[in-house]
Amino acid sequence: MLSVSDTEAIILNLLQPLDNRHDLEVVDLLAAVGRILATPITSNLDFPHWDNSAMDGYAVRYEDVQHASTEQPTVLEIVEEIPAGYQPEYTIQQGQAARIFTGALMPQGADTVVMQEMTYREDNRVCILAAPKPQEFVRYKASFYQAGTQLLPARIKLNAQEIAVLAAAQCPQVSVYRRPRVAILSTGNELVTPDKPLEAGQIVDSNQYALAALVKQSGAEPLMLGIVKDEPIALQEAIAHAIANADIVLSSGGVSVGDYDYIEQILESLGATIHIRAVAMRPGKPLTVATFPNATRPVVYFGLPGNPASVLVTYWRFVHSAIKKLSGVAGGWEASFIKVRSQDELRANGKRETYVWGRLHLIDKAYKFHKACGNDSSGNLINLAQTNAIAMIPVGKTLIFPGEEVLVLPVNN
């Protein structure tokens, strides 16, 4: 059985990021939120585009005011008022100043802004009550960014701050990677869709919805292929269809050792290479990962266990990273654990890497991990609601004491 970290490494090696020639889309700026930038951005604008004031105050020549003080204020003549968005008309000469507002263009001749609070106004004169520093409160042209250099690198996720930069650089449209397509299918004779009344022995196919929601949260496009019976022919057809239409296929159920668990043999009949069959992990031991060397496009198949908690945990631990790498993001694909103290006692059998779900709570400005209440069977979906982290108990450890440090993987972000 493979260790969890070897499994993660094998999975990440099976995936190559989307191609920066073929897998692109051009989208409107606001539609680019959360997408992965495909090409580096360069602007032919300088930032700031003009020398402008960082304060409401007076634009002055530094040499005129360098000795100003409360005892001996420097008195300057105000020749003009410059609100933001206006072009100054005068060149500031010795002994002169312009009233200026934040963001307004600096007038010729002036090199420094004295903030309003350091001045006293008398009609068309201003008394400067303190010497500024040279060039103080002027945002000089190109002091933040020089035209022609790189503004944003490719392969970053576009959040609000990058969208703002793109808007400022006058990019109304952006080239982004297409969303990875992820086919989802649920296997099991006992499964029904959520709208059907339950007959004896039936259960609702919640995994289909869990996985579609997870895939959306990872920035990919779910392709919901529905429920497939535990029948080899139906399964083979459904899986072949999924492989032909997606970059990643996620199935749940049918990967255990039961008599109706057919996934592995069907994958083999479709020419798959099986890279992973079982992982030393709890929940999530029966995990199948396969690729198709003869397929026209690269596809990675994840046969997830059927238990609802196993589906979520294996997705958070492995599939999210896989989608992240495929999506074009430059790096940092591996699951990012943080070290926090556990509020509760956490138990494991010591034989497999164990994941316990719960919540990170902020207590005195530090996160603490609380285990979810209720039955933590991997068949119990109910107490997964409102969890936002999974704590990892390593192989060889059977107990984490309250107050002890534990590695935790935050989820839903």
Which residues of this chain interact with ligand AMP, rule CB under 6 A? Answer: 186, 188, 190-191, 203, 205-208, 252-254, 256, 258, 305-308, 379
Q: Which residue is nearest to ligand AMP (CB)?
A: 306
Contacts of 14-17 with C-beta under 8 Å, sequence gap 24+, read: 14/275, 14/289, 14/291, 14/300, 14/322, 15/298, 15/300, 15/322, 15/325, 15/326, 16/298, 16/325, 16/326, 17/155, 17/325, 17/326, 17/327, 17/328, 17/329
Among positions 236-255, residues that touch Mg ion (CB under 5 A) are 253
Pick the closer one to Mg ion by CB: 260 or 367: 260
| Cross-strand pairs, 24 | 177
Pick the closer one to Mg ion by CB: 162 or 261: 261
Pick the closer one to ligand AMP by CB: 153 or 258: 258
Pick the closer one to Mg ion by CB: 48 or 306: 306
Pick the closer one to Mg ion by CB: 307 or 321: 307
Q: Which does 205 bind (CB under 5 to 8 A by kind): ligand AMP, Mg ion, none?
A: ligand AMP
Q: How far is the CB of 201 from ligand AMP (least distance, A)?
A: 9
Q: Which does 190 bind (CB under 5 to 8 A by kind): ligand AMP, Mg ion, none?
A: ligand AMP
Q: Which does 132 bind (CB under 5 to 8 A by kind): ligand AMP, Mg ion, none?
A: none
CA proximity to 255, closest of 245, 246, 268 = 268
Q: Which does 203 bind (CB under 5 to 8 A by kind): ligand AMP, Mg ion, none?
A: ligand AMP
How is residue 187 written in tokens? 């296997």
Pick the closer one to Mg ion by CB: 188 or 284: 188
d(C-alpha 228, C-alpha 250), whole Å: 13
Helix (H), strand (E) at residue 308: helix 308-314
Q: Which does 379 bind (CB under 5 to 8 A by kind): ligand AMP, Mg ion, none?
A: ligand AMP
d(C-alpha 34, C-alpha 189), whole Å: 38
Q: How far is the CB of 36 from ligand AMP (least distance, A)?
A: 30
Q: Which does 17 bind (CB under 5 to 8 A by kind): ligand AMP, Mg ion, none?
A: none
Neighbour-count burial of 20, counting CB atoms closer than 10 A to its CB (0-12 exposed, 13-18 middle, 19+ buried): middle
Radius of gyration of the chain (CA): 31
d(C-alpha 36, C-alpha 330), whole Å: 9
Does 188 bind Mg ion (CB under 5 A)? Our answer is yes
d(C-alpha 310, C-alpha 285), whole Å: 8
Q: Where do we find the tokens 């945002």? A: 139
String marking each residue 293-312 x if it binds Mg ion according to CB under 5 A:
-------------x------
Which residues contribute to the site for Mg ion (CB under 5 A)?
Answer: 188, 253, 306
